[in-house]
Amino acid sequence: MSSFISLFLEKYPEVWMRFMEHMNLTTMAVFLAVLIGVPLGIAITKNKQASKLVIGIANLLQSIPCIALLAFAVPFLGIGEKPAIMMVIVYALLPIIKNTFTGISGIDQRTLEAADGIGLSQWQKLFKVELPLAMPYIMAGIRISTVAAVGNMTIAAFAGAGGLGWFINMGLIGLNLNMVLLGAIPASLLALLIDYMLAEAEVMLVPEGLKPNEEIAAIGERGHRFQKVVVSLLCCFLVLLPLGVQGYNYYKDATQKKIVIGTSNFTEVFILGYMYEDMIEHYTDLKVERRFNLNGADFCYSALKNDNIDTFVEYTGTALMNFCKLPMSSDSDKVYNQVYDTLLSKDNVVTSKPLGFNNTYVLSVRPEFAQQHNLKKMSDLLAISDTLSLGCTAEFMQREDALPGLEKRFGTKFKDVKALDATIRYQAVANGEVDVVDAFSTDALLKKLNLQGLPDDVHFFPPFYAVSFTRGEVLEKNPELKDVFHKLEGQISDEDMRGLNYAVDVEGRDAHEVAHEFLVRKGLLPK
């Protein structure tokens, strides 16, 4: 507990920033979902066939996994807040539509006939009779949607939208439970806070005739007025604040000269992204906007081509096969030249010179396991692969330079293959739940968990030198960026990168701080 409190106090400003981001995104999404869901729920009460269709579609959409829905949205809406808000709107619609439909459909027919009998129009009947009577159901649906929306919005971090999901992802990367809690606890508190506000709003909105007499008496006229004021202020805060923040962001984007840096979703590229940010802001008049924690290399490249980001760091081996769609090669110079020429001619994307280190794949095991099976190099492991269980990322299972290539070239067949999250696989091999994992040579968790990487004596894995990929038109408009990128080329060794990763993932230091200290130590930035 003390370590969590210390971490919270250290990162309190960032926690507050992420909390506000999360609240803005959530309330904006729920507000829009209410604007769509309530009128739709009212409309389908007039047509039973339409109600089945609409509720069926809402059910179907909610069955789609959050991350998949987010991935579907990005090609159309870009990265950032828009796809995240859209995803949560889709998930929030079902309870709102269903509860609105149920609440209005369940009103006693005699009450509606009485309303017709006194001459109320359809609109008067809706606002004076149906909606007030259905309000407990409608508010229940909104409250359910809101609480779920707070949790679903943690996925927004994978689209570069920020929020409390940032801490959760960072905690998973470094197997740091305290960092996970740093995102999870504020998210839970936010859900409780918003639910409480909506509960108070429900008390105000539900007609007094539907409340128990003792509740009316307990509140009293003065208390009821006070309650209305408080709830109104809180609701205005929840609705107007996100709108104001969004408006300010659009204004800032339109008036500020900036460059957008993207990264994938692991520590190493976060560190490199911060290095580029500090270098760009020091040597140019450009302001950097971060779009960190995007969901993988392909996601980043798609964002680059769609003008959602301006630059990001990836690896030559990944670019060769994923971006260029070319066969793998172990010749580092050949790989770089192929990547540079192909991306420039195909997408007008400029590849920088390598930053220095080679973060290639390395199959890793526990030291005692290596000793037990006399595993000293990769060929030794391949010889007994049919007796071993492999834990690896989904990407490793699909890439031609990974498991499919090993199976094709060496006839490799593992006894069991489990698709695991990038960081969970390390814990799985350390606990003996799998025998072998895919890893990267500069990963800090190899050292933290005392895992042994097996040298690639068969020369299978291609070179994975870190480079930056930048849109050509961005460099044409801002030629000073070329000099900035050039300053980092060849500056980071394998050992440097392992040390930087270790400082963040194991020692728990801030990635931006670690990146800045390295640049100062290298003389690339002043002290």
Domains annotated on the chain, with CATH:
2-195 (1.10.3720.10), 258-358+464-521 (3.40.190.10), 361-453 (3.40.190.120)
Count CB neighbours of 280 within 10 A.
22
> How many Å apart are CA 208 and CA 219, to the nearest integer?
11
Q: Tokens for 186?
A: 């504020």
Q: Tokens for 501?
A: 């990763």
Q: Tokens for 75?
A: 């090609």
Judged on CB neighbours under 10 Å (0-12, 13-18, 19+), 188 is middle
> How many Å apart are CA 7 and CA 418, to the nearest integer?
33
> How many Å apart are CA 424 and CA 422, to the nearest integer?
6
Q: Is the dihedral of CA 318, 321, 325, 327 positive or negative?
A: positive
- Looking at residue 269, its amino acid is V
Backbone angles phi, psi at 294, to 5 degrees: -75, 155
Q: Tokens for 284?
A: 């140019």
pLDDT score of 208: 59
> How many Å apart are CA 455 and CA 189, to the nearest integer?
48
> How many Å apart are CA 366 and CA 389, to the nearest integer?
13
| Secondary structure class of 441 (helix, strand, coil) | coil
pLDDT score of 38: 92
pLDDT < 50 positions in the chain: 216
CA 70 to chain centre: 9
User: Is 205 in contact with 38 (CB distance < 8 Å)?
Assistant: no
Instruction: Please name the residue that has the structure tokens 């990146």.
Output: 515
pLDDT score of 475: 92
pLDDT score of 83: 84
| Secondary structure class of 367 (helix, strand, coil) | helix
| Secondary structure class of 477 (helix, strand, coil) | helix
Number of helices (H), then strands (E), in the chain? 25, 10
pLDDT score of 454: 92
